[in-house]
């Protein structure tokens, strides 16, 4: 480990001087008190009497478990979270004051290793949230046959309130705690980006892990969602949004879904509203638009925009990045000051791709969409889910629909362990073989192909091509399995996805005798 790295960590947070500790106490205690009061106030103002996010996940799990035909003791074990890490550490701010940072990491199930799950930076992060998200990750991995257990982590901060330098120190300090507690490693626990984090934070995590594990040849595999230059994989950035598109495309092709909702199997005849214009929402909207759908609404925190004549996703995205708002973008589009109203606008397909618990008893009866595709984790509460299904709508669940991210993270992890770019070994071999076939066809057909035709046929698969192909095949297979279980058990798609996940995980537990080792 470099002396400079240790020096930076020490100066940032690890060993404040005695004088600074005294200042620390004067600042930290009021800070913690106000934080607890804020949390209590937030919870008191929460939606009606509906369950928390963790309780919602458990409720969905319990409903599916009852008809899963899995042994009760296996179900009880699978419902519980295996391990939870909670850490606190101080950070010095630019004005010389100190703030205590809270961080969490939950490992829900280690039936397969490593466990996998994102790290989010959000003021909403708490123990219940990471436990719920870790549980969801376990089921999500199982649904799409990714051989990982489920985990989740988070740091309780609003990243917009910190400088890049402060965010780096916070991220590295949090990673140091994970390293010391054995909560990170390519064969142990592999984080990924989530709300408020991205490739930059993953690069900091990987570098910190490498400093603590000098000589670890697979160190790059300790985290996914990295920049390409540091071992990332092409296609990871858009993976979750692309997976959302693939999933909805599959479901609207099913005759029973078309009959129940009236939604056309032809994507070009459908209108789409997306709540959330971050990574998931932007790419989901982009792929829907590129494949013929009309994007009529986009929602963000400060306001939403709606235009029944359609929005240009790329132009809107550039405007939003430049201005931080949709206001002023168009004189014809409607601006909704209450951003959550975008969930209640007219459309065929609604994609909540923001945060959990966005559709609940308070607004579910106003939802006009025919298909609700959960791009975010837990955007629909259990009571709202039941109302939507009973009213003739279809909910495509989060543990299936937004599994594109973890699927491509799995591909990145494989790339890091194999130490070779996908396509590197076989691209030119495939092109030469195809060129011979093209030459044979031209000879017998009597017409030479144009240069464009030749390139299209001969072109060997690049890394992105292979990643897209693997993701598409994964989503198609998972959607078909969910559909089959829904028909067999006479249940909705959410229950079907949970049943599939429970049965797959139970098979690992019971087949290996793992239950008797805990």
- Per-residue pLDDT of the chain (518 residues), as tens digits, is 444 444 344 334 433 333 433 333 433 333 333 333 333 333 333 445 788 888 888 899 999 999 988 888 888 888 889 999 999 999 888 788 899 999 999 999 888 899 999 999 999 899 988 998 999 999 999 999 999 999 999 999 999 999 999 999 999 999 999 999 999 999 999 999 998 999 999 999 999 999 999 989 999 999 999 999 999 999 888 999 999 999 999 999 999 999 999 999 999 999 999 999 988 999 999 999 999 999 999 999 889 999 999 999 999 999 999 998 998 888 888 989 898 999 999 999 999 998 888 999 999 999 999 999 999 988 999 999 999 999 999 999 999 999 999 999 999 999 999 998 877 788 777 878 877 887 777 777 777 877 787 777 877 778 888 899 999 999 999 999 999 999 999 999 999 999 999 999 999 987 766 655 54
**Beta strands per DSSP E along 183-234:** 189-193
pLDDT at residue 514, rounded to an integer: 61
Q: Work out the angle at residue 357's Cα, subtended by the Cα atoms of residues 501 and 156, and round it to the nearest 5 degrees.
A: 95
- Say what the pLDDT of residue 515 is: 57
Which pLDDT does position 437 carry in this prediction?
81
Q: What is the rounded CA–CA span in Å between residue 75 and residue 62?
A: 9
C-alpha closest to that of 412 among 234, 175, 198, 204: 234
Residue spans of alpha helices (H) in 144-213: 164-180, 199-212
- Residue 357 sits at the vertex; the CA angle it makes with 389 and 313, to the nearest 5 degrees, is 85
DSSP β-ladder status, 394-396 and 371-373: parallel
pLDDT at 13: 40
Residues 6+ apart with CB under 8 A from 81: 106, 107, 108, 131, 134, 135
Using DSSP's 3-state secondary structure scheme, residue 332 falls into coil
Q: What is the pLDDT of residue 48?
A: 56
Q: Is-cis flag, bond preceding 517, omega within 30?
A: no
What residues are labeled active site? 152
Non-local CB neighbours of 505 within 8 Å, separated by 6+ positions: 78, 109, 111, 138, 139, 142
Between CA 319 and CA 323 the distance in angstroms is: 6
C-alpha span between 92 and 16 (Å, rounded): 9
The residue written with tokens 């589009």 in the block is 333
pLDDT of res. 431: 76
Q: What's the pTM?
A: 0.83
- Angstrom distance (rounded) from CA 81 to CA 102: 20
Contact residues for 339 (Cβ-Cβ < 8 A; gap 6+): 299, 300, 301, 302, 303, 304
**What was the pLDDT predicted at 20?**
38
Residue pair 105/84 in contact (Cβ under 8 Å)? The answer is yes
Q: Which residues pair with 85 in a beta bridge?
A: 105
Q: What pLDDT, on a 0 to 100 scale, did the predictor assign at position 475?
A: 96
HEC string for 6-57: HHHHHHHHHCCCHHHHHHHHHHHHHHHHHHHHHHHHHHHCCCCCCCCHHHHH
Query: What's the Cα-to-Cα distance from 200 to each of 4, 44, 164, 506, rounded to whole Å?
Result: 20, 35, 10, 37
* Structural domains in the chain plus CATH codes: 3-45+84-230 (3.40.50.10860), 239-399 (3.40.50.720), 404-517 (3.40.50.720)
Residues 6 or more apart whose CB falls under 8 angstroms from that of 241 comprise 279, 280, 281, 282, 283, 284, 285, 286, 287, 353, 375, 404
* Locus of tokens 């909670």: 86
């Amino acid at each position: 480990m470099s002396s400079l790295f240790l020096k930076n960590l020490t100066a940032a947070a690890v060993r404040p001087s005695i004088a600074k500790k005294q200042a620390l106490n004067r600042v930290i205690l009021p800070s913690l008190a106000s934080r607890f009061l804020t949390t209590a106030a937030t919870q008191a103002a929460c939606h009606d009497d509906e369950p928390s996010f963790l309780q919602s996940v458990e409720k969905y799990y319990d409903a599916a478990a009852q008809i899963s035909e899995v042994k009760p003791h296996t179900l009880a074990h699978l419902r519980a979270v295996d391990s939870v890490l909670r850490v606190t550490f101080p950070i010095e701010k630019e004005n010389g004051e100190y703030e205590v940072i809270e961080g969490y990491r939950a490992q829900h199930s280690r039936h397969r290793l490593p466990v996998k799950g994102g790290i989010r930076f959000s003021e909403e992060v708490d123990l219940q949230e990471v436990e719920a998200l870790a549980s969801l990750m376990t089921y999500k991995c199982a649904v799409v046959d990714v051989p990982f257990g489920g985990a989740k982590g988070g740091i309780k901060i609003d990243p917009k309130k910190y400088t890049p330098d402060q965010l780096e120190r916070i991220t590295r300090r949090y990673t140091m705690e994970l390293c010391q507690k054995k909560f990170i490693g390519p064969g142990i626990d592999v984080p990924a980006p989530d709300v408020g984090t991205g490739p930059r934070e993953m690069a900091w995590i990987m570098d910190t892990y490498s400093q603590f594990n000098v000589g670890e040849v697979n160190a790059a595999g300790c985290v996914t969602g990295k920049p390409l230059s540091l071992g990332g994989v092409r296609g990871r950035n858009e993976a979750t949004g692309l997976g959302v598109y693939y999933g909805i495309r599959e479901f609207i092709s099913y005759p029973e879904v078309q009959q129940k909702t009236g939604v056309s199997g032809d994507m070009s005849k459908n209108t789409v509203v997306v709540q959330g214009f971050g990574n998931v929402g932007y790419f989901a909207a982009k792929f829907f638009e590129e494949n013929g759908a009309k994007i009529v609404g986009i929602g963000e925190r400060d306001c939403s925009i709606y235009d029944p004549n359609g929005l240009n996703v790329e132009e809107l995205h550039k405007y939003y990045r430049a201005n931080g708002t949709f206001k002023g973008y168009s004189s014809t589009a409607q601006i909704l000051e209450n951003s959550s109203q975008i969930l209640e606008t007219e459309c065929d397909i609604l994609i909540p791709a923001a945060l959990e618990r966005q559709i609940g008893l308070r607004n579910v009866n106003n939802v006009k969409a025919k298909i609700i595709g959960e791009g975010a984790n837990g955007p629909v509460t259990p009571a709202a889910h039941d109302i939507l299904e009973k009213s003739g709508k279809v909910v495509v669940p989060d543990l299936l629909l937004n599994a594109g991210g973890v699927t491509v993270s799995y591909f990145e992890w494989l790339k890091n362990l194999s130490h070779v770019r996908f396509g590197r070994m076989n691209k030119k071999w495939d092109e030469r073989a195809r060129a011979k076939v093209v030459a044979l066809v031209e000879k017998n057909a009597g017409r030479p192909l144009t240069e464009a035709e030749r390139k299209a046929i001969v072109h060997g698969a690049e890394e992105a091509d292979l990643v897209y192909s693997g993701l598409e095949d994964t989503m198609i297979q998972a959607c078909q399995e969910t559909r089959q279980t829904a028909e067999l058990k006479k249940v909705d798609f959410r229950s079907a996805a949970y049943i599939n996940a429970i049965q797959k995980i139970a098979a690992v537990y019971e087949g290996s005798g793992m239950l008797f080792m805990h």
